[in-house]
Homo-oligomer: A and B are copies of this chain.
Amino acid sequence: MVLARLILGLLCLSPMTGYELKKHFDSSINHFWNADKAQIYRTLAQLVDKGYATVRTVPQSNYPDRQEHHITEAGREVLTQWLSAGPVESPERDPFMGQVFFAAELEREDIEQLLVKRREATQFILDDYLSQREGIDMRAAADRRSFLMAATLDNAIRQQAAQLEWLDAVLEYLP
């Protein structure tokens, strides 16, 4: 459900192949969603089935044909309806917090190691997001679209930063 909407959103920005969609999920959008490519291709097929997108085969000289997917009017409607229907509630799922919740089964040192390793991973992700943000032209953020896109990245940065602070606090006060 969500994936279909996100793909419609991307196709709304510009027509794309499944391959290019996967690129977006891995880079520009990786801070709030990811998707398996098999899933992307299948969802694309569904969208075409329902008339929310159309395919145009564009031959290329050296590389395989591009199956360019274009959003239709019906697709645009579905997207705006999703956006207008109010904020979706996210399920609130964090397996790492599960590990912390039950970490008392481990020795103190092992718990510390778990937290330290997580700290490293979080720092790594944060650095990635920060370098992504550097690549954003701030003058372009004057228009609403760019502003909102940059804002989601800012949120991801805040979340990771908050987690870093939390990890440090837990490491400091762990009995």
> Contact at A173–B147, with CB atoms within 8 Å?
yes
Question: Chain B interface: which of A24-32, A39-47, A50-58, A60-68?
Answer: A24-32
Chain B residue, CB-CB nearest to A118: B87
Q: State the oligomeric state as a number of copies.
A: 2
The count of residues in chain A whose C-beta lies closer than 8 Å to any C-beta of chain B is: 70
Q: Judge whether A166 and B148 touch: CB under 8 Å.
A: no
Q: Check if A136 is an interface residue, CB within 8 A of chain B.
A: no
- Does A86 touch B at the CB level, under 8 Å? yes
Write 14 A-B pairs (CB below 8 A) sorted by A numbering.
Answer: A80-B105, A83-B105, A86-B113, A90-B94, A90-B96, A100-B152, A104-B145, A104-B148, A148-B174, A151-B166, A151-B170, A155-B163, A158-B162, A159-B162
Chain A residues close to B by CB (< 8 Å): 2, 5-6, 9, 12, 29-34, 76, 79-80, 82-84, 86-106, 108, 110-111, 113-114, 117-118, 121, 142-145, 147-149, 151-152, 154-156, 158-159, 161-163, 165-166, 169-170, 173-175
